[in-house]
Structure 1
Amino acid sequence: MRKPIGVIDSGVGGLTVVSELMRQLPKEEIIYIGDTARCPYGPRTEEEVRTFTWEMIDYLLSADIKLLVIGCNTATAVVLEEAKEKLSIPVIGVIHPGAIAALKTTKNKEVGVIGTEGTISSGAYHRELTSINDKVKVVSLACPTLVPLVESGEFSGDDAKEIISDALSPILDYDIDSLILGCTHYPLIAPLIQDVTGEKVAVICSGDETAREVSALLYYKEILYTGENQPKHIFYTTGSKKLFQKVAESWLGCHLFEVRETDLNLVTTNRQIR
């Protein structure tokens, strides 16, 4: 089926999921919205997160997407079940795939989770992990300084490593052997996180497992695209197009996409986005 996959995120973080989708499903088209103007979602109220997330979902539905990926952990924690219930298309979040990846990796059954305030306070990862394996010990830590670091586009060098080291310090007192990056922004700084944690801790990104879940669902629903047309990827940002383009090109390592600015408030009067 030649319809696009929709991906939403609070900013540039969901590009880490897009990267895996493009690698594992190179024929599929992707339409992405990063709400960079209102990022981060972590400190916001549930009602704000719900409102903003549904604005992005409604915007993408006008593009006739065949599947939705909620690439933001905070939005996944707040809206995933509601979206599954209300939408007629398949909906995937990033929390379950991240939990699965960690449980495959951990040897001592002590798993750390870092994320935004909203994701950590929701307890979503703890519930997901322990519902699958009630023997696992989960240590969670909110790291509010990390999303602004990634969104700034300046996330390399000694200053960035110092910010990351300060943020992770409390969780490294525990005997975790796996650390879930419970925010899709964090894989953009995964090498620096790995430097801080050391090799004894496996750093877990949900993008790879999320893309696998998307692939399996597309196949099961018989909506996988198998034609020969080249995909056209469109990325929308509610903030700076220039900054978004810089991060996207750096992370994806290609130019096979178009970046556009959007005002989600126009969705009610301008439903056609393609």
Structure 2
Amino acid sequence: MVYIVGAGPGDPELITVKGQRLLKEADVIIYAGSLVNPALLDYAKPECEIYNSASMTLGEVIETITAAEQEGKMTVRLHTGDPAIYGAIQEQMDELSRRNIEYTVVPGVSSFLATAAALKQEYTLPEISQTVIITRNEGRTPVPEKEKLKSLASHQATMCIFLSVHMISDVVEQLIEGGYDKTTPIAIVQKASWPEQKIVRGTLETIADIVKENNISRTAMIVVGKCLDTEYAKSRLYAPDFSHMYRQGTDK
């Protein structure tokens, strides 16, 4: 069996209990070495075969898994965060299916959630933002025209932008052109949940210089939106006069 496992955002304790168990049981581990915290490999048994996919092609990854299957070995394909988000796993799953190799996907904690924890911030505030957009800026990987930052910015929702901090000036330009005011708050969290985690804050007008001053060029999440610094309405769920199936509300 092959398990595609979300490693979580970095902190070894933020992998799921199931993911940790599978790492301990694995005969072969193929991990995304450019992003996964190598401390997670400490869970592996001494005789486990470990491969760093950062230096491998898709074909080499699949051949390694296929060889392990033929030998009756259990493989963990370890991806950063949650593998469903920018994990490039669909092409791997499709190839495994073509080869009639069974696999299971084990979800993980995404870095955009670890970023919220680091910022001590709720993304969905009543009357401010009830939508979170998860996206990336266009680089070597094309982005559909309707999903470019300029278009998405028109919604004025909370936006979590992956894989784009090295293009921060372009990101800012598109967000402002799309409708965000230049005073809109923005935060950058580098390596959320890692020991070396770094947080910087600013506005769309100032953040590019702040990122440069702090030498942040990769492995960072960009969060933009009014939720970062604004007054908001309290949730009706806990209001004394609000009734629901578990509690009878009182009169105002």
Q: State the TM-score, normalizing by the size of structure 2.
A: 0.38
User: Higher relative CO (CA 8 A, sep ≥ 6), structure 1 or 2?
Assistant: 1
Structure showing the higher helix proportion among its residues: 1
